[in-house]
Amino acid sequence: MTAAGAKGAHGEEPSYRAVPRVPASAGALIFDDHGRLLVLKPTYKAGWTVPGGQMEADGETPWGACRREVYEECGLVVHAGRLRCVDFLRPRADRPGGLRFLFDCGAVDAAVASTIRLQPGEIAEHLFADLPEALEMLSRPLARRVRIALEQPGVSYLEDGRPVAGVTT
């Protein structure tokens, strides 16, 4: 990699497109007034998930992606959140890996929960599930991420859904 303003080995200007890219997504933990977690059933993949999705490549921030995806997927406007977890997923043959940010966005009351409207063609259904049930419904990596995020007092750093020796919160 060349320094800013430096020429490459053949005198060419460095291209930002040549810089390695890591996909990133952001998700939201949203609870009802009974402490149950909001989970969504997407139409484009198996299983259940929490509201969230990929960050846009136009410079969108993780928090911005979280808020946008929550609104797009279930029509809720998120005003506040607390970063609870950052998880690095190594690439595999079947997925690119990347960074996963998880925010605790608090609880909604019954009146707000009743306004949930699902994104047509993307989200088939939703429910608020008690945490043990929700963790069973989510994919293993996401369930680990959610469980650790809720158990630890600070922000958790994970790699492939697991705590890393030597990294503390």
Neighbours of 48 (CB within 10 A): 21
- Residue 2's pLDDT is what? 43
Confidence band, pLDDT 50/70/90 cuts, at residue 169: confident
| Residues forming a β-bridge with 83 | 103
Tokens of 47: 């299983």
- Residue 16's pLDDT is what? 61
Distance CA 158, CA 10 (A): 40
- Residue 96's pLDDT is what? 84
- Residue 11's pLDDT is what? 60
- Residue 23's pLDDT is what? 92
In this model, does residue 155 exceed pLDDT 70?
yes
Contact 101, 81 (CB under 8 A): no
Contact 73, 53 (CB under 8 A): yes
Helix/strand/coil for 143:
helix
**R_g of the chain computed on alpha carbons:** 18
List of domains in the chain: 28-160 (3.90.79.10)
Higher pLDDT, 21 or 79: 79
Distance CA 39, CA 87 (A): 19
Tokens of 139: 């994919």
Tokens of 76: 């809720």
Contact 99, 23 (CB under 8 A): yes
Residue given tokens 């410079």 in the structure block: 59
Helix/strand/coil for 63:
helix
- Residue 94's pLDDT is what? 86
